[in-house]
Amino acid sequence: MDTILLLIRVALAAVFVLAGVGKLLDLPGSRKAMRDFGVPEPYSGYAGTALPIAELLIAVLLIPSATAWWAALAALLLLLAFIGGMANVMRQGKAPDCHCFGQLHPEPVGWQGLARNGLLALMALVVVVQGPSDPGPGPIGWWADMSDATQVALALGGIGIALFAVQGWFLFQLMQQNGRLLLRLDALESQSAGETPATRPMAPNAGLPVGITAPSIRLPDLNGRLHTLETLRMPGKPVLLVFTDANCGPCTALMPEIGGWQRDKADDVTVAVIARGDIESLRAKTTPYGLSRVLLQDDREVATAYNSTPTPSAVLVRPDGTIGGPAALGADAIRHLVTQATAPPPTAPATIPVGADAPAFALPDLDGESRSLSDFRGEDVLVAFWNPTCGFCARMLPDLTAWEQDRPEGSPRLVVVSRGEIEANRDLGFAAPVLLDQEGAVMRQFGAGGTPAGVLIDAEGKVASEVALGAPDVLKIARNEVDA
């Protein structure tokens, strides 16, 4: 029992040291936590400074046997005060940062912190119940009473635990570094592809799979009115769920824009805010901008269900109640998602009917010489629309170049109309002329909605096939497997 009592005191002392040091490293945060827990403003500054000092003092006094019982009693009373304060703010529907360990481990008030303090209070109670006369031995006397063999075994065990802890810390740091490297590589790949945060806002592992049924929602707004996902979907429009937190600075900065979306984009999308935190704080941050449909979740239960716990973030739910895409993380990504959700549907490019004259065009080849469609008059021509950065084109390239190198008699001549850099197009290895259509104007003239695509032009310069989209259909034209 003596060993157990000593271990309890050492564990309590370690926790109080972490808590005290964490608060001292962030005294403004400690003072704010006092205000959030109801300490009057004139006294919150003193309380925020005195609390970490008291925690460190308790940690020191828990170790010697002579002061251990009194320190355990003080720890028990302090922990009970913590539990009472946390339970009180939770009862009021608030979730301020408990600041239990300062910035070492910031977390909002919740059941996890309540349970942790309850366990620590139980440990302190074990020491208090033993009475002032038997709080357990001091570490020096406890060590001296052991045999040499036990001391060696414990020393080796302590060294092993320390090495294990160092190794665990090293692995944790290594994992974090690898994560940062992966993010950096992802950013570099995006930059090399010409992407920007506005064009690449979605995190591939955030949100739920596209097309599955969206999790149900049943939450009150700031006025107590109950909302469900079904009521949000009733107008028959997409629903944009924006996840925010009362203590999130970027969320607060986004509130004016959210209010504007709710007013200006109401005909296209229903915007609902899924918020977390103190009701009064949320009301103060949303009311000035006319926000409606600010729904309050208890903790992060809805955000977790949608796999979108960072704030701010957003998820689009289609009118049929299914997930419309990955979660958008951050203000820029959310803005882009709003643009996508409210953009008019793209109009299909106008196609040219079979038998009509093919649109005339003149484009530079890879040597800068202008070439026109009329240059190839007198034979059937497969005009293939291409892009070196297109993955589907890359997969089709071996088949098309193999066909080109061994082109059967009577098959059309190949002319490639491509976008992209000159050198990238040279590397494709086409023997056929490659004409550069950087703006995609010729593609639009023929009604080609993407790449790879192709259309057959006969010897008289008339359109002889519908526009084929995708490798299989383009290759059918090349192999004379379509009716002209």
Average pLDDT over residues 156-182: 62
The answer to the question of residue 198 being in a domain is: no
Residue 192: what pLDDT? Answer: 43
43 and 140 assigned to the same domain:
yes
Lowest-confidence range among 33-42, 227-236, 344-353? 344-353
Name the token pair of 211: 């097309």
% pLDDT > 90, the chain:
34
**Listed residues 121, 145, 169: the one ending a domain:** 145
Average pLDDT over residues 301-328: 90
pLDDT per residue over 61-85, tens digit each? 988 888 989 998 999 999 999 898 8
CATH code for position 233:
3.40.30.10
305 and 377 assigned to the same domain:
no
333 and 371 assigned to the same domain:
no
366 and 266 assigned to the same domain:
no
Distance CA 474, CA 482 (A): 10
Nearest to 463 by CA among 455, 473, 471: 455
Residue 400: what pLDDT? Answer: 92
What residues have CB less than 8 Å from 375, skipping those under 6 apart?
none
The better pLDDT of the pair 453, 299 is held by 453
Instruction: Give me the domain span that covers residue 283.
Output: 218-342
Pairing between β-strand 239-243 and β-strand 270-275 as defined by DSSP bridges: parallel
Name the token pair of 359: 């649109």
Q: How many domains does the chain have?
A: 3
The answer to the question of residue 83 being in a domain is: yes
Residue 157: what pLDDT? Answer: 66
131 and 252 assigned to the same domain:
no
Residue 57: what pLDDT? Answer: 93
114 and 20 assigned to the same domain:
yes
Name the token pair of 279: 């009701």
133 and 9 assigned to the same domain:
yes
The answer to the question of residue 158 being in a domain is: no
Residue 198: what pLDDT? Answer: 38
Average pLDDT over residues 407-435: 91
The better pLDDT of the pair 138, 467 is held by 467
387 and 333 assigned to the same domain:
no
The answer to the question of residue 32 being in a domain is: yes
Half-sphere CA count of 453, side-chain side, radius 13 A:
22
**Listed residues 100, 124, 145: the one ending a domain:** 145
Is the pLDDT at 254 greater than 50? The verdict is: yes
425 and 338 assigned to the same domain:
no
pLDDT confidence of 154, banded at 50, 70, 90?
low
Nearest to 478 by CA among 465, 459, 461: 465
The answer to the question of residue 333 being in a domain is: yes
Is the pLDDT at 239 greater than 70? The verdict is: yes
Average pLDDT over residues 403-408: 89
Burial annotation 95-120 (CB, 10 A radius, 16+ → b, else e): bbbbbbbbeeeeebbeeebbebbeeb
Average pLDDT over residues 453-477: 92
**Listed residues 101, 119, 145: the one ending a domain:** 145
Name the token pair of 450: 């993407």
Average pLDDT over residues 302-307: 90
Is the pLDDT at 363 greater than 80? The verdict is: yes
311 and 391 assigned to the same domain:
no
Mean pLDDT, the chain, whole residue set: 82
Lowest-confidence range among 204-218, 276-290, 456-470? 204-218
Residue 97: what pLDDT? Answer: 65
Contact between residue 48 and residue 23 where contact means Cβ atoms under 8 Å apart: yes
Is the pLDDT at 147 greater than 70? The verdict is: no
Lowest-confidence range among 63-77, 189-203, 309-323, 329-343? 189-203
The answer to the question of residue 467 being in a domain is: yes
pLDDT confidence of 340, banded at 50, 70, 90?
confident
Is the peptide bond prior to 209 cis by the omega test (within 30 degrees of 0)? no
Average pLDDT over residues 356-363: 91
What residues have CB less than 8 Å from 160, skipping those under 6 apart?
none
Is the pLDDT at 388 greater than 70? The verdict is: yes
pLDDT confidence of 434, banded at 50, 70, 90?
very high
Is the pLDDT at 103 greater than 70? The verdict is: no
Angle at 221 between CA 216 and CA 227, to 5 degrees: 35
Residue 371: what pLDDT? Answer: 92
Is the pLDDT at 258 greater than 90? The verdict is: yes
338 and 366 assigned to the same domain:
no
The answer to the question of residue 428 being in a domain is: yes
Is the pLDDT at 384 greater than 90? The verdict is: yes
Is the pLDDT at 364 greater than 90? The verdict is: yes
pLDDT confidence of 482, banded at 50, 70, 90?
low
338 and 427 assigned to the same domain:
no
The answer to the question of residue 472 being in a domain is: yes
Contact between residue 456 and residue 465 where contact means Cβ atoms under 8 Å apart: yes
Distance CA 401, CA 428 (A): 9
